[in-house]
Structure 1
Amino acid sequence: MPTTMLHVPTPDGRADAFAAFPEGGGRHPGVLMYPDGFGIRPVLREMARELAGHGYCVLVPNTFYRHGPTPVIELPEYIGEEARPAVFARLMPLIEEHTAERALRDADAYLGFLTTRPEVAAGPVAVTGYCFGGLLATRTAAAHPGLVAAVAAFHAPVAADGLDALAGITARVHFGHAESDLTPESLGELNRALDAAGVDHTSEIYPGTVHGFTMSDTDAFDPAALKHHWDRLLPLLDRTLTGG
């Protein structure tokens, strides 16, 4: 897949971003992919290339660009249990500083940039995200009901802003939850709120999973759950962006 690093102008500076495009040129639907808190790294680049291979232009922004270009913090090649405390000690202050107001300013910039790229077809886009990025994806969908046609979030705290915040979403939704993150009772409460808001959704716990199950460079990785993630994500994008 053709790939490149781009710089997205924002009200607070320039965000570096990884972009992947389908082979053969032409214009294709756009997908904004928010990384997990660990940021842009080989596993995220590979996921973006995989998605581009299915016919989408994918933009993966450096969420923490205010603190420097990718990699904002040094990461081991494999983020195992022993490495996590030191990584999170550096990561959590960045997450805490990334307020909802900052996130929405950035979302405006990312979507404006994505939708005006010559490779991106006119029409609605999709937003997806992982962990903290899934919360950002959900916020972005709620703030841009006329533009975002699909949103998918995986092992993400999608209700962190309160269940009422989900009422602004008009996109089709898939939430894939880790079993370690959400009880069946909490899932039921979330899904009732989505139903009450009239959100077209699937929202499910992926059996036997722990937080971070899509990320192959962590000890949370679950290959079967990653496949299930693609089996949910690709049909969602096909229905909403290509009319499949």
Structure 2
Amino acid sequence: MIISSDEFVELPSADGGVMRVHVFRPAIKGRFPGVLLFSEIYQVTAPIRRLAAYIAGHGYCVAVPEVYHEYEAPGTVLAYDTAGTDRGNALKIAKPVAAFDADATAGLDFLAGHAACTGRLATVGVCLGGHLAYRAALDPRVLAAACFYPTDIHAGSLGLGKDDDSLARMADLKAETLFVFGRADPHVPFAGRALIRARLEEVGARYEWHEVNAAHAFLRDEGPRYDAALFAQATGWMFALFQRVLSASD
């Protein structure tokens, strides 16, 4: 369906500044399930905007926060180059985990109160955003989460001090989750993937698990690692989850 994709709001943040949140939603009147989309370390790049628009076009109200708003001016996009990668990776371990979590709560609050949202909520993310989508799904309001090649969960290395509690808190996960990894992804090696899946089994999580023959960032529709066929397949798994869970009755 046709979407509206030029909206943003600036929410107050705990550091006294603002967190810019980009909104993509169907252009028709109505209320739709809400999806909080977390970006890679580069913030809201063109590929992330296209992913958000693609999700919104399937009938969802999508909100995309700028994850490094404490450190970068509103609207800042880091480049897909060495300097941008170094900056994004540095900020990933400069920002406290509690601040990432506070952003997720603010984003979910915003979506839940949006006039175009039904209040039924999901999260999705890629790379850093896959981890943040998982952590946001620890909020009991979140019904489903799609985590694409989430980094750092297996190593507990997100945030200031590189000491997150994501694996430890997995017992709190009530949302139904989708995990998708590339088997050739050096950021989440086989042992790391095995550790995450073992923990999901240990806590009795409701989850779906896929490992595909791809590298890291295979959903990003720029650069040599993009796999269009796997993009269609992987997002299809996401939409199947969202349609089943978000459209179900309470």
Match 1:199 to one of 186, 202, 205: 205
Aligned twin of 2:99 = 102
Task: Report how many aligned residue pairs link the two structures.
Answer: 232
1:153 aligns with 2:120: no
RMSD: 1.8
1:190 aligns with 2:196: yes
Larger % of helix: which?
A: 1
Q: Structure 1 residues 47, 72: closer, same or farther in 2, change over 3 A?
A: closer
Unaligned runs of 5+ in 2: 157-163
Tell me which moved more, 3-12 or 128-137.
Answer: 3-12
Aligned-pair identity (%)? 26
1:105-147 Cα shifts (integer Å, max 9, x gaps) = 111111111111111113x3000101001111111112x1x20
1:31 aligns with 2:25: no
1:73-132 Cα shifts (integer Å, max 9, x gaps) = 3x2xxx4xxx3x22222222211112211111111111111111111113x300010100
Query: Where does 1:1-244 land on structure 2 (aligned, <5 Å)?
Result: 1-3=3-5, 4-12=7-15, 13-66=17-70, 67-73=72-78, 75=79, 79=80, 83=81, 85-122=82-119, 124-142=120-138, 144=139, 146-157=140-151, 158-159=153-154, 160=156, 161=164, 163-181=167-185, 182-207=188-213, 209-243=214-248
Q: Distance in 2 between matches of 1:44 and 1:202?
A: 23
In 2, are the aligned partners of 1:163 and 1:190 still within 8 Å (CA)?
yes
Q: Distance in 2 between matches of 1:116 and 1:86?
A: 37
Q: Distance in 2 between matches of 1:32 and 1:97?
A: 23
In 2, are the aligned partners of 1:20 and 1:59 still within 8 Å (CA)?
yes
Cα shift at 1:224:
1.7
Unaligned runs of 5+ in 1: none
Cα shift at 1:183:
4.4
Q: Distance in 1 between matches of 2:30 and 2:20?
A: 24
Q: Distance in 2 between matches of 1:178 and 1:100?
A: 25
